[in-house]
């Protein structure tokens, strides 16, 4: 089961950018964590990050063509990019929108995401653990179960 974990602008700076908001987990550690969760739950996880909106659009289009599931942290694009929103609307697999911080407890302009309306679900404010929860949800959903599925590995 293919799952793309796609990260938008500035997320490559995790661990050094506003650690009081985003924590001290580095981007490399986030990638390793997502890949480990994927292995444990039988998912083929590919993690990517870009600061270029056009590159993100290409990745979302490819995921739509593959009917792949997507975990997306659109970063700032979530608040204003109708191009990212429209690309998400093309997805045929499930989409979980993830935000490390609680966007509803931050500046007013962050309170609304244009992506949320086309997402299967949204996780925000749980730190990088939101990615793990999104991947587990997708593993269960793609396996057709509603409860916990024992991990496949250790």
Contact 75, 106 (CB under 8 A): no
In the three-class reduction of DSSP (H, G, I as helix; E, B as strand; rest coil), residue 134 is classed as helix
Separation of alpha carbons 35 and 41, rounded Å: 10
137 catalytically annotated: no
86 in a labelled binding site: yes
The pLDDT, as a whole number, for residue 103 is: 81
- Does 137 carry a binding-site annotation? no
Provide the domain count of the chain.
1
Match 């966007």 to its residue by tokens. 103
% of the chain surpassing 70 pLDDT: 86
Which entry of 4, 22, 27, 131 is annotated as an active-site residue? 22
Domain span holding position 7: 2-143
Give the pLDDT confidence score for residue 25 in this predicted structure: 80
- For the whole model, what pTM was predicted? 0.89
Helix (H, G, I), strand (E, B), or coil: what is residue 3?
strand
Can you tell me which residue has the tokens 């959903």? 141
Position 152 in a domain:
no
Nearest to 5 by CA among 111, 102, 132, 123: 132
pLDDT digits (tens, 9 = 90+) for 15-67: 777 667 666 688 999 999 999 999 999 999 999 999 999 999 999 999 999 99
Q: Is 2 in a helix, a strand, or coil?
A: strand
The answer to whether the annotation marks 100 as part of a ligand binding site is yes
In a domain, 149, yes or no: no
Question: Per the residue annotation, which of 4, 27, 99, 137 is the catalytic one?
Answer: 99
**What is the average per-residue pLDDT within 1-24?**
82
Q: pLDDT at residue 95 above 90?
A: yes
DSSP letter assigned to residue 12: G
Q: CA-CA distance, 136 to 54, in Å (whole number)?
A: 29
Give me the chain's average pLDDT, please: 90
136 annotated as belonging to a binding site for a ligand: no
CATH of the domain at 24: 3.40.50.9100
CA pair distance 45, 43, nearest whole angstrom = 6
Residue 150 located in a structural domain: no
Q: What is the pLDDT of residue 102?
A: 82
Known catalytic residue: 99?
A: yes
């Amino acid at each position: 089961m293919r799952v793309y974990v796609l990260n938008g602008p500035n997320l490559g700076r995790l661990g050094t950018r506003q650690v009081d908001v985003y924590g001290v987990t580095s981007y490399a550690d986030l990638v390793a964590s997502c890949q480990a969760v994927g292995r444990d739950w039988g998912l083929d996880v590919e993690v990517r990050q870009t600061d270029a909106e056009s590159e993100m659009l290409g990745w979302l289009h490819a995921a739509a063509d593959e009917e792949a599931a997507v975990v997306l942290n659109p970063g700032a694009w979530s608040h204003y990019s109708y191009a990212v929103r429209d690309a998400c609307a093309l997805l045929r697999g499930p989409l979980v929108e993830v935000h490390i911080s609680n966007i509803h407890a931050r500046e007013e302009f962050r309170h609304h995401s244009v992506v949320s309306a086309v997402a299967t679900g949204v996780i925000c404010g749980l730190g990088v653990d939101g990615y793990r929860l999104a991947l587990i949800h997708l593993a269960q959903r793609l396996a057709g179960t509603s409860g916990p599925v024992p991990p496949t590995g250790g």
